[in-house]
Chain A
């Protein structure tokens, strides 16, 4: 009898986590370059939820992973010189204190020494290292292939780095992603760099609210299942205990 409760509880635990993921999506519905996530669950194959004479197929449910949707977010025009968006697959490479990180958030700026950096001050790595702008040389233009030019001369190239296997990327916060595998990304030639644009979050709010309602209702119905199961055992104890 307790199996009902435990199985229902295992699902409730995963539902809570699903709500956490949805909450993160909704709070980041306005975050530049954010990619929407969906919590995934699977059957727990370790054969635990079973009574001696109970159904053999009874299984718990467990968190499986997060499905990250790397599809393109809408491009918003900002007109900023160092606002860059990637159209297509790939990431900007950032040199942080903790190592190389990848991002789709192209709100770059200039450091005091003319280096192209993130808003946090970490340098942006182009195809051949850091990109240094000479502030005296006037307007900077960045072409769709990533070539940075100033005064008609090429001063660097913004690299768009693409991964064959996006699942090895782990989110680090601050819109940064970390490569957890040893496989190095390749410079993408298919992706375009758009100057004066930013990629908005690809969260679809309506979708998320709908999913949230689903999660909430599923959680409630499981609470009722647990209650029903407990009611059942209470009654059986009552009946069976009654002297005939």
Chain B
């Protein structure tokens, strides 16, 4: 019976769905995390009888030939890039982006990665780095004798030195935007890489047209909404159950056929 195999594809699709949802829930408190969604596609159809000359109404319900579908497959997992809630931390190197854009990070392999996780710090040479010690691009060095650092909404890093009255500009943080943010390739550690689907990065100063603003002393929380994830989990679980119900029904029907006494 085709129904058995069809329902099995449904169960494995829902299993993937649960895996994606559990990753979202696991990253509920990950700074700058963007939640994902599993997307599905129907499988090939077996045409038993071609669509023939059948009368049809002009409504939305139409008769066609007999086509038996083979179930479902996972199409893609999809990133939803809405803004996460900006939460205050009072840490001077915690930066949140409000609006579009990514920080540019120089990875050890020399490539540029992109991140929304702005929980930065300063390394032993005074450079602004991410949690993993990767340098922010363009590189910004905070002088050793700086007593205070303020970062404006436009990304300008100003330092106040003990012996100077006026603040000094140490550099400007630039943001990168993409035409299709959902197409970025996630490589873990809150980092994304440019891909064919995302298009090349466009860099610019924060606050200019098309770029978000930088907020000092805040981080962007993950955009995972616990309630909607739990709801999605319940839906996935019930859908899984329904598919297993189809299997047991198909089994019952086969059993009924087997029990017929000749």
Q: Is the interface of B mostly helix, strand, loop or mixed?
A: mixed
Binding stretch for chain A, among B121-129, B140-148, B250-258: B250-258
Q: Which residues of chain B from 146 to 166 have a CB within 8 Å of any chain A CB?
A: none
Contact B75 A119 (CB under 8 A): yes
Asked if A71 is at the interface of the complex by the 8 Å CB criterion, the answer is yes
Number of residues of chain B lying within 8 A (CB) of chain A = 82
Residues in A whose Cβ lies below 8 Å from that of B231: none
8 Å CB interface, A2-60 against B: 12, 15-17, 19-24, 26-32, 34, 37, 39-40
Residues of B contacting A133 with CB < 8 Å? 179, 199
* Residues of chain B within 8 A of A154, CB atoms compared: none
A66 touches B63 (CB 8 A): yes
Which residues of A in the span 170-184 have a Cβ within 8 Å of any Cβ on B?
170-175, 180
Given A136-B202, A139-B210, A223-B256, are A111 and B197 neighbors across the interface (CB < 8 Å)?
yes
Residues of A within 8 A of B246 (CB): 19, 22-23, 26-27, 212
Question: Could you tell me if A110 and B71 are in contact, using CB atoms closer than 8 angstroms?
Answer: no
- Chain A residues near B81: list those with CB within 8 A: 79-80
Are A219 and B54 in contact (CB-based, < 8 A)? no
Question: At the interface, yes or no: A67 with Cβ under 8 Å from chain B?
Answer: yes
Known interface pairs A65-B54, A170-B47, A226-B260. Does A112 touch B196 (Cβ–Cβ under 8 Å)?
yes
Shortest beta-carbon distance from B68 to chain A in Å: 5
Give the interface SS of chain A, mostly helix, strand, loop or mixed. Answer: mixed
Which of A20, A164, A223, A227 has the most chain B CB atoms inside 10 A of its CB? A20
Count residues on chain A whose CB falls below 8 Å from chain B CBs: 79
> Interface residues, chain A, CB within 8 Å of chain B?
12, 15-17, 19-24, 26-32, 34, 37, 39-40, 63-71, 78-83, 89, 105, 107, 109-112, 114, 119, 133, 135-140, 164-175, 180, 205, 208-209, 212-213, 215-216, 219-220, 223, 226-227, 230-231
